Copies of this chain bind each other. A is one copy, B any other.
Amino acid sequence: MRYGVVGFSGRMGREVIEVFSERGHELVLKVDLEQEQYLGKPDVIVDFSNPSALKRTVKLCEENSAGLVIGTTGLNEKDLEIIKDLSKKVPVVQSFNFSIGIQIMLRIVSEISRILEDWDVEIVEIHHRFKKDAPSGTALLLKKALNKDVPIHSLRIGGVPGDHTVNFANLGEILSISHRAISRRTFALGALKAAEFILRKEPGFYEFPKIVFGGV
């Protein structure tokens, strides 16, 4: 695949380039606040930068008929509409969480919650001391997936990138589902999966969870 990266010099941008290169894909477009290097027509453009870059990213996709994988956080309703509009012309994947493991976790805790409706459930999440919001956005997604009002315990210690555990228990046993993010690489790998999925797909808006679960 020939791909472009918007925000190529940022932390996520560099991670994306490392992961895509290891897989043998070719970087042909590097965009930054200060520069743009165009080495060829990209099949897919990846953007994990910030909302202010959106217009330029969309324009680049249109000009190159390139698919878009966008993981930028902080997009508002209007931004999302712009992305939906773009998806009429090219294939697009947008998600606020490109971790494959978290998508699977959301799905299985939802399933288990339906089956074990009378078990006790509590969530524990651990993040680094600089994270100000508690509970984490992912913990709230888990709670929503459980479809139950369950306690969430938030630890803020050291440099933990992000642990989430859902404990289901009855009087005789405990079943726990745990996820641990090791690094930003997690999200770059999710972007890779999305980019490879939309390559040569028809224009349209593709849900990341569906890509993870093989279109099921």
Chain A interface residues toward B at CB < 8 A: 99-102, 104-105, 108, 111-112, 115-116, 119-122, 124, 126, 128-129, 151, 153, 155-161, 167-189, 212-214
Contact = CB atoms under 8 A, between A and B. Distances in A.
A82 B158 CA distance: 37
Chain copies in complex? 4
Contacts of A120: 129, 156-158
Nearest to A162: B173
Contacts of A180: 173-174, 176
A165 to B, nearest CB: 9
B182 A172 contact: yes
B151 A172 contact: no
Nearest to A171: B159
A23 to B, nearest CB: 12
